[in-house]
Amino acid sequence: MINRDSPVTEDELHAYIDGELPADRMEAVTAWLAAHPEQAVTVASWRAQSERIRARYGAILEEVVPERLTLDQVIRSDRASGRSWKIFAAAAALVAFFAGGATGWFAHGASVGTRTSSFAVANEALDAYKLYVVEVRHPVEVPGTERQHMTQWLSKRLGEDLRVPDLQSIGLKLVGGRLLPGPTGAAAFYMYEGASGERFTIYCAKAATPASAFRYTAGERAAAFYWADGKVAYVVSGPADRDKLEKVAKAAYEQMERDDAKRS
Amino acid sequence: MPTFQQNVEATIPALRRYARALTRDADIADDLVQDTLVRALRSEHLFHGGDVRSWLYTILTNLNRNRLRSLARRPVLSPIEDNDAPDLAGPEAGGRDIERALATLVEDQRNALLLVVLEGLSYREVAEVQGVPIGTVMSRLARARVQIKTYLDGGRPALRRVK
């Protein structure tokens, strides 16, 4: 390997202290550091940072794991928590109302009449997404295992024939759904989850306009695709990763289209 | 060959360590670990092989991001400390110092640095956990180290933006 003569990059200096430097560059980097004492001091300070971090938190590894974090206990409490979800859901709905109050609700109130529009629905949906996406134990009122019951219930409350898309083909499992207050009455809210915990939601409400194009809106950390299709407006929300979100929105859209075609 | 649950169980002490460094609060950290375990056990059927450990770090990192996001939505934030300067030297102070330095980092940088330095993940594994290219992991790491050095050297870092 003639690698020893190529210039040393900053990435290599990090790789050097993190044990990621290829063996054939070791000699070149150590020689370069010997010739550049100022940079050698910086590299030593990075190494010292790592040592301080390990010194500060290393001992936690030796601590006895608290009872509640043993797997048996986690499994048991997870089962027990299923019983109290109804009370919690009621509380969560109240929180939703007040949490939305500061910005979302007034903002949407101001826009009613002028442009109730899918934009207001999208804002509402994003607020709901941000509120429920953090929920671990009680993200939904009806679990995804009761898909059919949930579809019937939410369809009845909205007064529209709803569909709950199956997104398993893109790695998303249906967590479940809930009923929410929306700008045009009741709204249906479904939550999906990927293998590593990333969540996406679909929000359905009565549409103010009969049809609209696919639109995209992004906040700092969350984003949404929305469209109206006949009588229902749909908002697919998720982390602010446009490509991924578009994939989810398209999969949901295509499936609802397909179902529509089948039913008509 | 250890089972899925055995693999999860063996990672719990390390998850607690990572969570503590991320949150700087023992109770919040253990809540985060508990939520991670609940999530992992419920999603076992979604786990298609690979490294259980990286997968658990991914879940914990995502949950912590969700937690910070919900904190940011609350109107009341913790008070600004007026004695936020680096502590004087001393063994006890040294630990708090590095804690505070870590707290000044942007979340993605803190995640990357802790996963590499504390948890011993490879750059490639961190790239998977964060869902970004390795180059992005390396630039996060580099910026984290510069920021910590600035803080520890006594230079007052730019105020962290509250999102």
Residues of each domain in chain B carrying CATH 1.10.10.10: 84-163
- Contact state of B12 with A69 under an 8 Å Cβ cutoff: yes
Same domain, A49 and A149: no
Evaluate whether A193 touches A175 at the Cβ level (below 8 Å): yes
Provide the 3-class DSSP secondary structure of residue A124: helix
ipTM of the complex: 0.84
- Residues A83-96 as b/e (b if ≥16 CB within 10 A, e otherwise) read eebeeebeebeeeb
Query: Lowest-pLDDT range, A80-84, B31-35, B55-59?
Result: A80-84
Q: Are strands A173-182 and A185-193 parallel, antiparallel or unpaired?
A: antiparallel
Same domain, A234 and A110: yes
Same domain, A207 and A106: yes
Task: Say yes or no: A65 contacts chain B, CB-CB below 8 A.
Answer: yes
Task: Say yes or no: A50 contacts chain B, CB-CB below 8 A.
Answer: yes
Closest CB to B9 among A60, A66, A71: A71
The per-residue pLDDT for A212 is 65
Mean pLDDT for B46-59 is 84
The two tokens of residue A49 are 């940072």
List pLDDT tens digits, range A164-196: 999 999 999 999 999 998 877 899 999 999 988
Residue A231 or residue B149, greater confidence? B149
Residues of each domain in chain B carrying CATH 1.10.1740.10: 1-78
Query: Lowest-pLDDT range, A136-150, A207-221, A244-258?
Result: A207-221
The per-residue pLDDT for B24 is 86
- Contact state of B70 with A130 under an 8 Å Cβ cutoff: yes
Same domain, A136 and A52: no
The per-residue pLDDT for A257 is 76
B37, B92, B109, B134: best to mutate for the A interface, most A CBs within 10 A: B37
The per-residue pLDDT for A53 is 95
Query: Lowest-pLDDT range, A4-18, A118-132, A234-248, B122-136?
Result: A118-132
Percent share of chain B, pLDDT over 90: 50
Query: Lowest-pLDDT range, A51-65, A81-95, B88-102?
Result: A81-95
Residue B112 or residue B72, greater confidence? B112
Same domain, A31 and A87: no
| CA–CA distance, A198 with A74 (Å, rounded to integer) | 21
List pLDDT tens digits, range A72-121: 888 887 776 653 333 333 333 333 333 333 333 323 333 333 334 556 77
Nearest chain B CA: its distance from A253 CA (Å): 23
Summary mean pLDDT of chain A: 79
B73 pLDDT higher than 70: no
Examine residue A74 and state whether it is found in any structural domain, yes or no. no
Same domain, A88 and A27: no
B81 pLDDT higher than 70: no
Same domain, A42 and A96: no
The two tokens of residue B58 are 């991914």
| CA–CA distance, A235 with A226 (Å, rounded to integer) | 4
- Contact state of B123 with A60 under an 8 Å Cβ cutoff: no
Same domain, A215 and A91: yes
Q: Please report, for the domain that includes residue A144, its CATH number.
A: 3.30.200.100
Same domain, A28 and A141: no
A206 pLDDT higher than 70: yes
The per-residue pLDDT for B93 is 52
- Contact state of B43 with A173 under an 8 Å Cβ cutoff: yes
Max mean pLDDT among A6-10, B124-128, B152-156 falls in: B124-128
A76, A77, A134: best to mutate for the B interface, most B CBs within 10 A: A134
Mean pLDDT for B128-146 is 94
A259 pLDDT higher than 50: yes
Domain residues for the domain of A180 are 82-263
Query: Lowest-pLDDT range, A54-58, A185-189, A221-225, B88-92?
Result: B88-92
Evaluate whether A183 touches A120 at the Cβ level (below 8 Å): yes
B19 pLDDT higher than 50: yes
CATH number of B1-78: 1.10.1740.10
The number of folded domains in chain A is 2
User: What architecture is the B84-163 domain classified under in CATH?
Assistant: Orthogonal Bundle (1.10)
Residue A69 or residue A254, greater confidence? A69
The per-residue pLDDT for A106 is 29
Examine residue A137 and state whether it is found in any structural domain, yes or no. yes
Residue B117 or residue A254, greater confidence? B117
Examine residue A117 and state whether it is found in any structural domain, yes or no. yes
Report DSSP state, residue B159.
P
Examine residue A222 and state whether it is found in any structural domain, yes or no. yes
B51 pLDDT higher than 60: yes
Nearest chain A CA: its distance from B38 CA (Å): 6
Q: What single-letter amino acid sits at A151?
A: T
Same domain, A213 and A101: yes
List pLDDT tens digits, range A214-229: 777 777 788 888 887 7
Task: Say yes or no: A58 contacts chain B, CB-CB below 8 A.
Answer: yes
